[in-house]
Amino acid sequence: MVAGPLGAEQSPSPGEKLARLAWPLVALVVLLGLVGYALLYSAAGGSHTPWALRHGIRLVVMTVLAVAIAMVDIRQLFRFAYPIYGVLLILLLAVEIVGEINKGAKRWIDIGIVQLQPSELMKLALVLALARYFHAAYLEEVRRPLFLVPPVLMILVPVGLVLKQPDLGTAGMLAMVGTAMLFLGGTAVWKFAAAGALAGAALPVAWSQLHDYQRQRVFTFLDPEADPLGAGYHIIQSKIAIGSGGFWGRGYLQGSQAQLSFLPEKHTDFAFTMLAEETGFVGALAVLALVLTITLAGMTVALRSESHFARLLAAGVTCNFALYAIINVAMVSGLIPVVGVPMPLVSYGGTAMLTVMLGLGLVLNAQVNRDTVIPRFPADL
Amino acid sequence: MHQEADRNRCFRRRTLLLGGLQVALFAGLATRLWQLQVRDAATYQLLAENNRISQRLTVPPRGVIVDRRGRALAVNAPTYRVRVVREQAGDLRRVLEALAEIVPLDARRIEEVVQQARLHRPFVPITVREDLSWEEVARIAVRGPELPGILLDSGLLRQYPHGPVTAHVVGYVGPVAEHELARETDPLLKLPDFRIGKSGIERAYDRELRGRAGLWRVEVNAIGREIREIDRNDGEEGADLQLSIDLDLQAYCMNRLAEQEAAAAVVLEVSTGAVLALASVPTYDPGAFAGGLSAALWRQLADDPRHPLVNKCIRGQYPPGSTFKMITAMAALEAGLVTPTSEVYCPGFMSLGNARFHCWKQHGHGRIALVQALAQSCDVYFYELARRVGIDALAAMARRFGLGETLGIDLPGEKPGLMPDSRWKRERLKQAWQKGETLVCGIGQGFVSATPLQLAVMTARLCNGGRAVRPWIVRGPHAHVHEGKGVPAPPVGVARANLELVLKGMFEVVNGPRGTAKASALPIAGTFMGGKTGTSQVRRISKTERALGAHKRMDRPREERDHALFVAYAPHDRPRYAVAVVVEHGESGAKAAAPIARDIMVEALKLEPGTPPGRLDMAARR
């Protein structure tokens, strides 16, 4: 295929785009959001306030936003990938400096309507920037060690900043999404093994850098019974709630753990726990299946896209979405320490939903632009 | 072109791999859910039923603090209180409003309790009112069944039987502050009305006094009322602490100082460093802090220029004045720069370059040697010694006797004082050391400053045969200072003969015919006290003032008057106690401080020698 100029002939009109949009995918995502709505209604003891209604409104607004993003010319995304990444890096630094001044963990910038959490949006920006970086790279280039220095820095700098906030969960997700991008970009597998060994060696150093409360979380995870009323409370109560749901669940609005307030943070990080208690193994499995379906649909978009940028973009964003769900469920079921990662579209919370829905917009964008060719080195960029 | 194809193949393969990994991870999660919800469902359903078991933290009684003879200094007094548990109350506001019909409870308090309850876990009881009368307790108990979630229990309130007398030593407790919560993970701190040590021993030994939380599990029915107690782990009671302080002596010191505007006195046992009394005036009532202090009272205490909240014994830093002369003498003797008989001529001043350094005695002491120089406190003699020794050797000797650095007493906030040397001045003031400054330091003026505690420790180390004792207050297994556990102190490392010579000078100060404190000899036949006066300038005396004699006038404003100091030990032949007294702006060490020190010493000598074995008054416990 010859890299032509940025021709208008390859950019479909908005009408065409709307027509070819993967509406079933949109429907699945909205369905997941509606599960969240029903759950938050139950968490409030059968009330639309304070959570369910706001969740619903955000869902509607952000779905429109996602479709709007799908309408953008993918070459504009390509063009602005680095600037977007740069802006978020600056925001991250700004939060860091403000936090330094206030002597506390401040992770967000208050812009009035939403509290903007740059570390969340950074996940998407990182995917955009790395997709652009690897877009032009053939495998021979990727195999050169020096070629990998810039992308690794692009990952490590925000990871370091987020770790300093300190937000272990988000930092971990950023690192994992970044690693997935390197993998998809064609980095040799042995290099991951080497990096893994190196990270293992650096573990003691990292441990010494952790805050007391972070170490406490790890200890608590290893032995929750040691401190049943302190930090271990969340994990124990969550496992009890999930387990007591049984096969069919206790019934909607009937979960005694959640309703009797034994369950902490039932509307945010532990929303899935409540779902598992009230709807049982059947309901929990159904939601997991729904999340997996959305994930696989995203990966399919990646496989079907023409330009390398679009493929990497769709795959990276989808990995991010899947990671949310996997980490959250692993966390509430006691497989990993409590790191504060919400269940996408089910947990109450604006920033996480914004990240997921912006991500949906990016996947949809890749999907409607699947035939759009982006030259390796576009002339006007 | 084949590059494009290679890359596509690679991407395709890896995307499929990643998708496969995701499917595997989801399968893993599904397996986990199967484990919890199908395989072990019965177990967890049982556990969920057990969640009807309400768990409560029980607060261990805080350790009692007693003096060296077992007399209570801090105790826990019972108080009846009514509390509410949110998870059992259901509609919290309604329950509280019902309660308000039985006992006085204003709307603002109800609002506070509702707010507070939101901040804590649902099973944490929130105190609604403390200090209930018996009648109120009875009324609540009778109406109990109508009030779900309401608990009656007896709590403990910290009390200080000798309040102001021991305030600076024992300290006080208060509500847990935000930063204290962040520092520790102890679940006790999260309890709504938990009190934590804020100053003194209460703070220094907070962990020991606090104990460990107990866990109390009760079965509750569907609406949350208790059915029966299941088990109860009482945790660990706070450790009781016995102090080295002698209540009688402490009270005597506080009393004796009471007429002074601001003063401090320290009594040490010289062989062990045990602190027998630590008196600082003015003082305050620590009882006022336990129940919460009004903002006005707090402001008044904090703004008082005489600093009632500050323990002047460990936080007041004063120029030691002539009480420092023993250090100058020891430094010169140890360096071999002076002998017991070598004399210095004092014409009333000493010239260095074109500056004049005055002796307190305008017309001078004439020819004078070490013992008399100490007895009469000749400034010129010690200017000369300081000149010979030099500032660095002088500072090194001062540190060996405990000046210029914290001594590690088991109280929070101890100040280090200051013992300058040439390096300190170079680093801190970016200036070279001046010879004249050495002379001034030699008589304990200029940059030199020390706390009353340091002066007492210095005196103890001089008279106990040169052992570097450290001061301590808590004795026994919980002691933070090693000597409190009975470990002897290491030697200071000076010649015994030199110490004895200096002590002879101190003996003459009190008992010699020309001693500066001869009016303050002990009124006990056959028992002698050694000591040293100190009158330290708060501001420099100008030439005109000296000429007019204005620097000795009593009509100066209080804050310009000299500090009065006295350090003492007794009995001279077999020293047991060291005393340091500082009277802020007391004008004259001999007139203001020495009589106080003598009276305190007389009182101390009445104590039975040695520290008696711990006899804990267990009635004080509750």
CA–CA distances in Å: residue A185 to residues A139, A143, B4, B12:
8, 10, 13, 11
Q: Are B402 and B468 in contact (CB under 8 A)?
A: yes
Q: Are B480 and B273 in contact (CB under 8 A)?
A: no
CA distance A103 to chain B (A): 11
* Helix (H) / strand (E) containing A339: none
Q: Is A229 helix (H, G, I), strand (E, B) or coil?
A: coil
Instruction: Give me the count of residues in chain B.
Output: 622
Q: Could you tell me where the beta strands, DSSP code E, fall in B485-603?
A: 530-536, 563-570, 577-583
Does the distance separating the beta carbons of A257 and B57 come in below 8 Å?
no
Does the distance separating the beta carbons of A288 and B29 come in below 8 Å?
yes
Indicate the residue type of B412: P
Per residue in A107-126, pLDDT (tens digit) is 566 554 456 688 889 999 99
Q: Are A326 and A245 in contact (CB under 8 A)?
A: no
CA–CA distances in Å: residue A132 to residues A136, A358, B129:
8, 18, 65
pLDDT of residue A229: 52
* Helix (H) / strand (E) containing B431: none
Q: Where are the domains of chain B?
A: 54-243, 247-291+310-605
Q: Percentage of chain B with pLDDT > 90?
A: 42
Distance, in Å, from the CA atom of B476 to the CA atom of B482, rounded to the nearest integer, reads: 10
Q: Is A187 helix (H, G, I), strand (E, B) or coil?
A: coil
For the domain spanning B54-243, the CATH number is: 3.90.1310.10
Find where tokens 């009593």 sit: B554
| Residues B131-147: b if buried by 16+ CB within 10 A, e if exposed | ebeeebbeebeeeeeeb
Distance, in Å, from the CA atom of B428 to the CA atom of B444, rounded to the nearest integer, reads: 20
- Burial environment of residue B396 by CB neighbours within 10 A (0 to 12, 13 to 18, 19 or more): middle
pTM greater than the 0.90 cutoff: no
Instruction: Compute and round to an integer the Cα radius of gyration of chain A.
Output: 21
Does the distance separating the beta carbons of B57 and A229 come in below 8 Å?
yes
Does the distance separating the beta carbons of A333 and B33 come in below 8 Å?
yes
Contacts of B397 (CB under 8 A, 6+ apart): B327, B330, B331, B334
* Residue from B7, B9, B12 whose CB has the most chain A CBs within 10 Å, to mutate: B7
For B32, the closest of A228, A261, A333 (CB atoms) is A333
Residue B618: band (very low, low, confident or very high) from pLDDT cuts 50, 70, 90 = very low
CA distance B122 to chain A (A): 7
Assigned token pair, B537: 């300038």
* Helix (H) / strand (E) containing A16: helix A14-20
Distance, in Å, from the CA atom of A260 to the CA atom of A254, rounded to the nearest integer, reads: 10
* Residue from A262, A278, A326 whose CB has the most chain B CBs within 10 Å, to mutate: A262
pLDDT in tens, chain A (381 residues): 344 444 444 567 888 888 889 999 999 999 999 999 999 988 877 788 788 999 999 999 999 999 999 999 999 999 999 999 999 999 888 887 776 554 444 556 655 445 668 888 999 999 999 999 999 888 888 888 899 999 999 999 999 888 877 677 888 899 999 999 999 998 888 888 998 898 888 888 877 777 777 777 667 666 655 555 555 667 777 888 888 888 998 888 776 555 445 565 677 888 899 899 889 999 999 999 999 999 999 999 999 998 999 999 999 999 999 999 999 999 889 888 777 788 999 998 878 899 999 999 999 999 998 888 888 887 655
Q: Are B360 and B492 in contact (CB under 8 A)?
A: no
Q: In chain A, which residues have their Cβ closer than 8 Å to the Cβ of B215?
A: 228-229
- Burial environment of residue B479 by CB neighbours within 10 A (0 to 12, 13 to 18, 19 or more): buried
CA–CA distances in Å: residue B486 to residues A168, B272, B491:
48, 8, 16
Q: In chain A, which residues have their Cβ closer than 8 Å to the Cβ of B57?
A: 229
- Most confidently modeled range among A102-106, B18-22, B153-157: B18-22
Distance, in Å, from the CA atom of B297 to the CA atom of B293, rounded to the nearest integer, reads: 7
Contacts of A95 (CB under 8 A, 6+ apart): A106, A107, A108, A109, A118, A119, A165
Per residue in B449-490, pLDDT (tens digit) is 999 999 999 999 999 989 999 999 998 888 888 777 777 888
Distance, in Å, from the CA atom of A10 to the CA atom of A2, rounded to the nearest integer, reads: 13
Per residue in B227-282, pLDDT (tens digit) is 667 777 777 888 999 999 999 999 999 999 998 889 999 999 999 899 999 999 89
Contacts of A96 (CB under 8 A, 6+ apart): A161, A164, A165
Q: Are B318 and B563 in contact (CB under 8 A)?
A: yes
For B29, the closest of A247, A319, A326 (CB atoms) is A326
| ipTM tops 0.85 | yes
Distance, in Å, from the CA atom of B342 to the CA atom of B329, rounded to the nearest integer, reads: 12
Q: Which residue of B has its CA nearest to A285?
A: B30
- Average pLDDT for B353-379: 89
Does the distance separating the beta carbons of A243 and B12 come in below 8 Å?
no
Nearest Cα neighbor of A367 from A63, A61, A65, A72 is A72
For B34, the closest of A281, A302, A329 (CB atoms) is A281
CA distance A17 to chain B (A): 25
Task: Categorise residue B267: left if φ over 0, alpha if ψ from -120 to 50, beta otherwise.
Answer: beta
Q: Percentage of chain B with pLDDT > 70?
A: 90
* Helix (H) / strand (E) containing A151: helix A149-164
Residue B314: band (very low, low, confident or very high) from pLDDT cuts 50, 70, 90 = very high
* Residue from B2, B22, B230 whose CB has the most chain A CBs within 10 Å, to mutate: B22
Assigned token pair, B501: 């010579």
Q: Are B572 and B550 in contact (CB under 8 A)?
A: no
Catalogue the active-site residues of B: 322
Q: Which residue of A has its CA nearest to B123?
A: A262
Distance, in Å, from the CA atom of B12 to the CA atom of B15, rounded to the nearest integer, reads: 5
CA B261 to chain centre: 22
Q: In chain B, which residues have their Cβ closer than 8 Å to the Cβ of A230?
A: 185, 187
Distance, in Å, from the CA atom of A268 to the CA atom of B300, rounded to the nearest integer, reads: 47
Nearest Cα neighbor of A198 from A206, A187, A186 is A206
Measured in degrees and rounded to the nearest 5, phi and psi for residue B606 equal -75, -20
Per residue in B102-118, pLDDT (tens digit) is 888 888 888 878 877 77
- B247-291+310-605 fold: Beta-lactamase (3.40.710)
Distance, in Å, from the CA atom of A116 to the CA atom of B17, rounded to the nearest integer, reads: 34
CA A353 to chain centre: 9
Distance, in Å, from the CA atom of A314 to the CA atom of A77, rounded to the nearest integer, reads: 12
| Residues A139-168: b if buried by 16+ CB within 10 A, e if exposed | beebeeeebbeebeebbeebbebbbbbbbb
Contacts of A215 (CB under 8 A, 6+ apart): A207
Nearest Cα neighbor of B335 from B291, B385, B382, B261 is B385
Q: Are A315 and B15 in contact (CB under 8 A)?
A: yes
* Helix (H) / strand (E) containing B611: none
